[in-house]
Amino acid sequence: MNAPKFQELDTPTRVLLGPGPGMPHPRVIRALGAPTLGHLDPELLKIFKEEQELLRYIFQTKNTWTFVLSGTGTAGMEASLTNLIEPGDIILACIHGYFGERLAEIAERLGATVDRIERPLGEIFNVEDIDHALNNKKYKLMTIVHAETSTGAEQLFIKEIAAAAHKHGAIIVLDTVTSLGGIPVKIDEWDVDIAYSASQKNLSSPSGLAPITVGPRALEIIEKRTKPVTSFYLDLKQYSNYWDEIHSYHHTASASLHFGLREALRIIAEDGLEKTFTRYRANAEVLWHGLDEMNVRPFIPLEYRLPALTTALVPQGVDPHKVRTRLLNEYNIEIAAGFGTLKDRVWRIGLMGYSSRKENIALFLTALNESMKIR
Amino acid sequence: MNAPKFQELDTPTRVLLGPGPGMPHPRVIRALGAPTLGHLDPELLKIFKEEQELLRYIFQTKNTWTFVLSGTGTAGMEASLTNLIEPGDIILACIHGYFGERLAEIAERLGATVDRIERPLGEIFNVEDIDHALNNKKYKLMTIVHAETSTGAEQLFIKEIAAAAHKHGAIIVLDTVTSLGGIPVKIDEWDVDIAYSASQKNLSSPSGLAPITVGPRALEIIEKRTKPVTSFYLDLKQYSNYWDEIHSYHHTASASLHFGLREALRIIAEDGLEKTFTRYRANAEVLWHGLDEMNVRPFIPLEYRLPALTTALVPQGVDPHKVRTRLLNEYNIEIAAGFGTLKDRVWRIGLMGYSSRKENIALFLTALNESMKIR
């Protein structure tokens, strides 16, 4: 068998304006290159401690169990469910887009009976919908997505929804993949029981890591399990042993990715959450204004539109996919098509992490304008 | 809640001579910093294709299903089992060290009935042991570790063991975490059904990725499953869709890590497997000779001693942990303690990937000699 020969890595420099990944901050990219460390090196364990403190700030929580999982956001999603669910459990999945459905599918694979309530793409739940559903049956937990990457909608009222769950004896699993670092996520104030995110969206880091935080009710369920967690790889008790307690070996965490994430979280802490959110919002408004001037209308009402992810209606007569291809091939700009039934109707334009800069928006608006001209 | 403040990243430059991670090649470190790409960017999908070709060469296989999973070696281990096992399956775990036991534990968590056969730490199986065990019961699959990271022993006779498994109607799951890239792994010639590895050992890359290859018998089992794979995140059918078929979204692969791994695999292909193995062997012999001169004896007989991982008996009167601490704190050299009952009896000294260089060995021998003097 002959060895294949390939050229030196020669990839284009993309401006990433899709629904994630966002562009990593240059300081994060530099941090990746620091000399690597063993997975039990005291210097790496110190970095874990710092990441925990930084994440507690960004999640606005005091939860002891706040870790970074060695996998992408989907690993965070699966970890939340596999640690909480035992076969036969009954759960409620609140679905207002693709990632809500993914939570339901993962729960079913783990042997749960899943009841679904759904809102059409682009809409969100009100508290009554969920309270009503929770009243029907005794659910162990409910799942909901804070910021739906498939539609760009922010599910409001998380505090009230969590209260409804608790009133009915259920706990709440919250997906904050596209919200964390971009809009307020207040785990303790909202009384959310478990939440996970991903490194590559508003945290300005490469993908590959999934922050997670576990509150007291979820912790109690985990500690009272009768069977071991189905997944050894995503077993949070073992994360706790590795990160906090006896520092026992569980897996070989990627020091390089942790160097990057620590730097990314440090940048957010330097700016402070308030200033960070203000920047996202201000940049989003520049984008919305620019799109509006080109007759490209937002799909999501202002009330629950995400600053970091805009779903924009494709103007009549414009081929959305030709425009996307042109943006990528001629301008090195990545945006995404719509999801599912919205595939030909909208674009998804992200301003995540280091992608959220005025220069990117100015370039994008010009390039979009040019790209829409030729039909 | 106040934002925590931390200093700029300032980590020491370690010489990594433990049982993994090895040191990433400087070309790999540079590749990490390339501008990132979206997870469905045609340029990233091209990199996946190249990684597949390179991995087929290194695994010595023509298997179509050859992917890189977004997780560490343990994710590769869990993926192998979760895709093959359905609750109630009966499997045989051949255990000659910690990672053999880890395979058994994961299989049990997935609902399999696991029969174990074991060899004491530092020994390996002969074919008859395994053939005999396979004869007792109808097993769906057997698991075995090619290179035990806990002992530094190479399990020889994989070809004969695979033949025994097939004779009895079982398939073989092979752990090649510490073997791939360091000693020959001949998936097709040996007729191994599924094998996985990790990016951070002999592949000279940061941790965080797990190569995997799936042969026809394993593929057939996966395609004939009656229930979906318990893990959505590690579902290989979805990897196939993402990597090969319709390029449908499954998770956000870490472009940065893939840039690094592609470069690492390219370096191995440039040198060629034969030259790579010769280098590992030659460097190991320098280490063994040097240790011998200091009366530090190998724990594993030459016949099945791994070049990339040497387990060395701690001389009488020497405190192994004080020496390790001294090596780390005074010389920035990482080696590991022994595993389990070997904890106080041996050191584990790795020469993995870019760590396997004469300058590292010369430094290590000098530092070890100095560190053993003060008791």
Same domain for A157 and A134: yes
Is 90 exceeded by the pLDDT of residue B315?
yes
Average pLDDT over residues A101-120: 98
Identify whether B8 is part of a domain: no
B5 CA: distance to closest CA in chain A (Å): 7
What's the pLDDT score for residue A143? Answer: 98
Residue of A nearest to B339 (CA): A249
B128 CA: distance to closest CA in chain A (Å): 31
Q: Test B3 with A73 for CB contact under 8 angstroms.
A: no
> Chain B interface, mutation test: which of A256, A259, A276, A348, most B Cβ atoms within 10 Å?
A256
Is 90 exceeded by the pLDDT of residue B253?
yes
Residue of B nearest to A268 (CA): B3
A309 CA: distance to closest CA in chain B (Å): 15
Same domain for A228 and A334: no
Rounded distance between C-alpha atoms, residue A114 and residue A106, angstroms: 10
Is 90 exceeded by the pLDDT of residue A374?
no
- Residue at which a domain ends, from A269, A288, A308: A269
- Tens-place pLDDT, residues B185-237: 999 999 999 999 999 999 999 999 999 999 999 999 999 999 999 999 999 99
Identify whether B194 is part of a domain: yes
- Tens-place pLDDT, residues A113-136: 999 999 999 999 999 999 999 999
Same domain for B97 and B82: yes
CATH of the domain at A306: 3.90.1150.10
Average pLDDT over residues B94-102: 98
**Chain B neighbors of A260, CB-CB under 8 A:** 256
The closest alpha carbon to A170, from A95, A94, A229, A108, belongs to A94
- Tens-place pLDDT, residues A216-244: 999 999 999 999 999 999 999 999 999 99
Rounded distance between C-alpha atoms, residue A177 and residue B354, angstroms: 35
Q: Test B207 with A252 for CB contact under 8 angstroms.
A: yes
The closest alpha carbon to B17, from B286, B344, B319, B342, belongs to B286
CA angle B232, B235, B241 (to 5 degrees): 110
Same domain for A265 and A188: yes
Q: Residue A117 in contact with residue A95, Cβ under 8 Å?
A: yes
Average pLDDT over residues B298-320: 97
Identify whether B143 is part of a domain: yes
> Chain A interface, mutation test: which of B54, B178, B252, B333, most A Cβ atoms within 10 Å?
B252
Same domain for B302 and B265: no
Same domain for B185 and B83: yes
Is 70 exceeded by the pLDDT of residue B375?
no
Rounded distance between C-alpha atoms, residue A329 and residue A370, angstroms: 13
CATH of the domain at A74: 3.40.640.10
Same domain for B257 and B334: no
Same domain for B248 and B185: yes
State the count of interchain CB pairs (< 8 A) between A and B.
Answer: 252
Identify whether B9 is part of a domain: no
Q: Which of A1, A18, A105 faces B57 most closely, judged by CB atoms?
A: A1
Is 80 exceeded by the pLDDT of residue B374?
no
ipTM over 0.85: yes
B256 CA: distance to closest CA in chain A (Å): 7
- Residue at which a domain ends, from B249, B269, B289: B269
Identify whether A1 is part of a domain: no
B14 CA: distance to closest CA in chain A (Å): 7
- Tens-place pLDDT, residues A135-150: 999 999 999 999 999 9
| Contact residues for A339 (Cβ-Cβ < 8 A; gap 6+) | A97, A98, A121, A150, A151, A348
Is 70 exceeded by the pLDDT of residue A375?
no
Average pLDDT over residues A295-310: 98
Q: Test A36 with B18 for CB contact under 8 angstroms.
A: no
Residue of B nearest to A273 (CA): B3
Q: Which of A60, A109, A232 faces B109 most closely, judged by CB atoms?
A: A232
Estimate the share of chain A in helix, then strand, then coil, as percent rounded to the nearest 5.
Answer: 45, 15, 40
Q: Which of B74, B228, B273 faces A251 most closely, judged by CB atoms?
A: B74
Q: Test A21 with B255 for CB contact under 8 angstroms.
A: yes
- Tens-place pLDDT, residues B16-43: 999 999 999 999 999 999 999 999 999 9
**Chain A neighbors of B272, CB-CB under 8 A:** 3
Identify whether B265 is part of a domain: yes
* Phi-psi map region of A85: left, alpha, beta (phi>0 left; psi -120 to 50 alpha): beta
Q: How confident is the model at residue A158 (pLDDT cuts 50, 70, 90)?
A: very high
What is the SS3 assignment for A165?
helix
Identify whether B107 is part of a domain: yes
Same domain for B313 and B253: no
The tally of domains found in chain B comes to 2
Identify whether A8 is part of a domain: no
What's the pLDDT score for residue B245? Answer: 80
**Average pLDDT of chain A, as a whole number:** 97
Same domain for B147 and B280: no
The closest alpha carbon to B80, from B170, B152, B142, belongs to B142
Q: Residue B306 in contact with residue B183, Cβ under 8 Å?
A: yes
**Chain B neighbors of A233, CB-CB under 8 A:** 71-72, 74-75, 77-78, 234
- Tens-place pLDDT, residues A13-47: 999 999 999 999 999 999 999 999 999 999 999 99
- Using CA atoms, how far residue A35 sits from A8, A254, B15, B21, B171, in Å, is 22, 12, 9, 12, 40
> Chain B interface, mutation test: which of A2, A13, A36, A48, most B Cβ atoms within 10 Å?
A36
Q: Test B21 with A36 for CB contact under 8 angstroms.
A: yes
Rounded distance between C-alpha atoms, residue B61 and residue B219, angstroms: 14
Same domain for B343 and B290: yes
Same domain for B294 and B217: no
Q: Test B41 with A334 for CB contact under 8 angstroms.
A: yes
A246 CA: distance to closest CA in chain B (Å): 15
- Residue A240's domain comprises 26-269
**Average pLDDT of chain B, as a whole number:** 97
- Residue at which a domain ends, from A242, A269, A296: A269
